[in-house]
Amino acid sequence: MAKPDFYDLLGVSRSASADEIKKAYRKKAKELHPDRNADNPNAEAQFKEINEAYDALKDPERKAAYDRYGHAAFDGGVGAGQRGGGHPGFGGGNGDFASAFSDVFEDLFGDFVGGRGGGGRSRASRGSDLRYNMRVTLEEAYSGTRKTIRVPRLSECDSCNGSGAEGGAEPVTCPTCSGMGKVRAQQGFFTVERTCPTCGGAGQIVKNPCKACGGAGRMEKEANLSVNIPAGVETGTRIRLSGEGEAGLRGGPAGDLYIFVNVAEHALFKRDAMTLFCRVPVSVARAALGGEVEVPTIDGGRSRVKVPAGSQSGRQMRLRGKGMPALRGAGHGDMLIELAVETPVNLTARQKELLEEFEKLSVENNPEASSFFTKVKGFWDGMKG
């Protein structure tokens, strides 16, 4: 009987992507899971078939060879000279089917491969990432700053240098799996590889666990870290400090530390990305007559801004380049100044006298000066009509 086509077995087209092939394989493999196929005597054979198909198609070189020569690419019938691109030999046929799919097996059937927790041992693993919330002022966000932070974290144990073994002794090869980290086990009609229960997959065990850390290779310590906060950070900016997270378990790599920046509200300035806003009070007389106001800037300096005669409250003026810097870039945003015309209060008798006179002159000078009064007059006239 002719061998079925690998693409047909997985139910994908010849143009399927690597991802599509993987998905199709997973789906088929789950369907053939031994737990679901107690009554199906062909399940194992079918599983072997789809596994062989996937094994051939998941690897780009093997796939190319299969596309070119079909099954002949793997049955030893094609001499080395005929193989496309002179790739190294693909090995004789199916090989050991259990080992062939072991790399995806845990991913697929992690539930029954399980078998962790052999006496609390665990493999070397990467430490967790940590988060540190840092509050900075707007001035610090403007200029950039360097801060020292105290981070309580799990660090490498000093007594054993992270190995977890007493006195820093090197761990020894696991006797159960001879250092492979995996053992063969019978599971229904499958021979599967599973994580070694003695060493948890690490391939090594610690004979005498370190007393200081209980064999974990790490312990709680407080670290002082100097953190560079670049100019231009905003609330929500994340800064990654590679390898400054938790130490790995049993000498595994450390995690990362993420600084989450929170920029505090400022008494004078509001911020929108690189633009700063500032409301500047101006007297009625100054707004009417025109002149200059002095405004604060985020760099701690001052700028003088021209106020045109007749400026109304809410008028905005732009100060170029006086806003926030770009994060890890060049240039600055602008600062927008909004005039707030202030009604004078706590008047002296003389001021009142002058304002009364001013009002009288205003009415005489131009009784319909304000378009609002014109509109109101029109409104009342309309009511009468």
- Annotated binding-site residues for Zn(2+) read 157, 160, 174, 177, 196, 199, 210, 213
Smaller CB distance to Zn ion: residue 49 or 246?
246
Asked if 196 interacts with Zn ion (CB under 5 A), we say yes
The β-bridge relationship of strands 145-156 and 218-229 is: antiparallel
Smaller CB distance to Zn ion: residue 125 or 159?
159
Asked if 141 interacts with Zn ion (CB under 5 A), we say no
Asked if 165 interacts with Zn ion (CB under 5 A), we say no
Residue 221 CB, nearest approach to Zn ion (Å)? 12
- Map the footprint of Zn ion across residues 39-98, applying CB under 5 A: none
Residue 272 CB, nearest approach to Zn ion (Å)? 51
- What is the chain's Cα-based Rg? 38
Asked if 128 interacts with Zn ion (CB under 5 A), we say no
Burial (CB < 10 A; 0-12, 13-18, 19+), residue 42, is: exposed
Residue 155 CB, nearest approach to Zn ion (Å)? 11
Residue 115 CB, nearest approach to Zn ion (Å)? 11
Residue of the chain from 177, 274, 298, 336 that contacts Zn ion (CB under 5 A): 177
Sign of torsion, CA 17 23 26 30? negative
Asked if 199 interacts with Zn ion (CB under 5 A), we say yes
Residue 187 CB, nearest approach to Zn ion (Å)? 18
Smaller CB distance to Zn ion: residue 174 or 274?
174
- Map the footprint of Zn ion across residues 208-227, applying CB under 5 A: 210, 212-213
Round to whole Å and give the CA distance between 240 and 251.
Answer: 22
Smaller CB distance to Zn ion: residue 201 or 333?
201
Q: Name the one range near Zn ion by CB under 5 A: 196-204, 271-279, 281-289, 330-338.
A: 196-204
Asked if 138 interacts with Zn ion (CB under 5 A), we say no
Asked if 176 interacts with Zn ion (CB under 5 A), we say yes
Residue 123 CB, nearest approach to Zn ion (Å)? 9
Residue 160 contacts residue 210 (beta carbons within 8 Å): yes
Q: Name the one range near Zn ion by CB under 5 A: 99-107, 195-203, 223-231, 256-264.
A: 195-203
What is the SS3 string spanning the chain?
CCCCCHHHHHCCCCCCCHHHHHHHHHHHHHHCCHHHCCCCCCHHHHHHHHHHHHHHHCCHHHHHHHHHHHHHHCCCCCCHHHCHHHCCCCCCCCCCHHHHCHHHHHHHHHHHHCCCCCCCCCCCECCCCEEEEEEECHHHHHHCEEEEEEEEEEEECCCCCCCCEHHHCCCEECCCCCCCCEEEEEECCEEEEEECCCCCCCCEECCCECCCCCCCCEEEEEEEEEEEECCCCCCCCEEEECCCCCCCECCCCCCCEEEEEEECCCCCCEEECCEEEEEEEEEHHHHHHCEEEEEECCCCCEEEEEECCCCCCCCEEEECCCCCECCCCCCECCEEEEEEEECCCCCCHHHHHHHHHHHHHHHHHCCCCCHHHHHHHHHHHHHHC
Smaller CB distance to Zn ion: residue 83 or 182?
182
Round to whole Å and give the CA distance between 27 and 47.
Answer: 11
Smaller CB distance to Zn ion: residue 43 or 213?
213
Q: Name the one range near Zn ion by CB under 5 A: 156-164, 224-232, 294-302, 358-366.
A: 156-164
Smaller CB distance to Zn ion: residue 177 or 233?
177
Residue of the chain from 99, 159, 297, 313 that contacts Zn ion (CB under 5 A): 159
Q: Name the one range near Zn ion by CB under 5 A: 38-46, 71-79, 199-207, 334-342.
A: 199-207
Asked if 198 interacts with Zn ion (CB under 5 A), we say yes
Asked if 160 interacts with Zn ion (CB under 5 A), we say yes
Smaller CB distance to Zn ion: residue 210 or 298?
210
Residues that bind Zn ion (CB under 5 A): 157, 159-160, 174, 176-177, 196, 198-199, 210, 212-213
